[in-house]
Structure 1
């Protein structure tokens, strides 16, 4: 039994051909076009993160950035992501622009019907959201025209009243 060079060559050729085929598939697969994003995310995620961390207390700047996202999404014919309109609506409510805020919340409900229960909740509580810090503060007491009530007796006054009786 001697090594027959004729039999070795077809095996080496087959192995090389398999390696080249796998390499070609890998290279061609890497060149395939990646799927296009369904939504135009842009500054939405950083805006939500800043809002939740309360670093983004500048609601006006966030709303302007999100308005630019809307324009870019329209120009590229892409959809806004879920929650985008709701977040923008919340920003508008915080800024005191209630009509715009309610419009965005209604838009979120129309674009994503599964968000209807939550959007209805936000719409019911829009006045609380719009108040922000002001809503958390108790209302200032109104001046009354009724005569002032007698002050409650202090411990020294109570003792004097007991002794006098």
Structure 2
């Protein structure tokens, strides 16, 4: 029994160390969740221009690491651009539609609204 205890302790230590490491995620989330939170709850801390610059930098980081862009990020950027640059907004809505076909219905509605205005 005394010979087994050190091995069990070592196994637990290795197991707990593995749990503390950074988890692998499917997407590069970057600052996206924080920007959405700030945009809705503390808009004075996250102007649309600041959100655009932060999120576009996150996209570049994700591409550099060859990671996927999370669902909704392109659409969020499109909404931010829809007030200032409708052409860029349409590009981001199309990117969201291409990346996540299940968002096509919503993206098509947003594109139609852009064309109507």
TM, length-normalised to structure 1: 0.61
Q: Which residue of 2 aligns with 1:103?
A: 91
Q: Write 1 or 2 for the structure with the bigger share of helix.
A: 2
Post-superposition Cα deviations, 1:102-144, rounded to whole Å, max 9, x if no partner, equal: 110110111011111221222222357xx7xxxxxxxxxxxxx
RMSD over aligned Cα atoms? 2.2
Q: Which residue of 1 aligns with 2:69?
A: 80
TM, length-normalised to structure 2: 0.83
Secondary structure, aligned partner of 1:125? helix
Gaps of 5+ in 1: 1-13, 132-165
Post-superposition Cα deviations, 1:18-73, rounded to whole Å, max 9, x if no partner, equal: 33232121112234365422211111111111222361562111101111111111
Query: After alignment, is 25-34 or 69-78 more displaced?
Result: 25-34
Q: In the alignment, is residue 70 of structure 1 matched against residue 59 of structure 2?
A: yes
2:11 and 2:114 map into 1 onto residues whose CA distance is: 56
Which structure is larger by alpha-carbon Rg, 1 or 2? 1
Q: Which residue of 1 aligns with 2:4?
A: 18
Secondary structure, aligned partner of 2:82? helix
Query: Relative contact order: is structure 1 or structure 2 higher (C-alpha 8 Å, sep ≥ 6)?
Result: 2
Gaps of 5+ in 2: none
Secondary structure, aligned partner of 1:79? coil
Q: Which residue of 1 aligns with 2:43?
A: 55
1:127 and 1:48 map into 2 onto residues whose CA distance is: 25
* Paired residues, number: 114
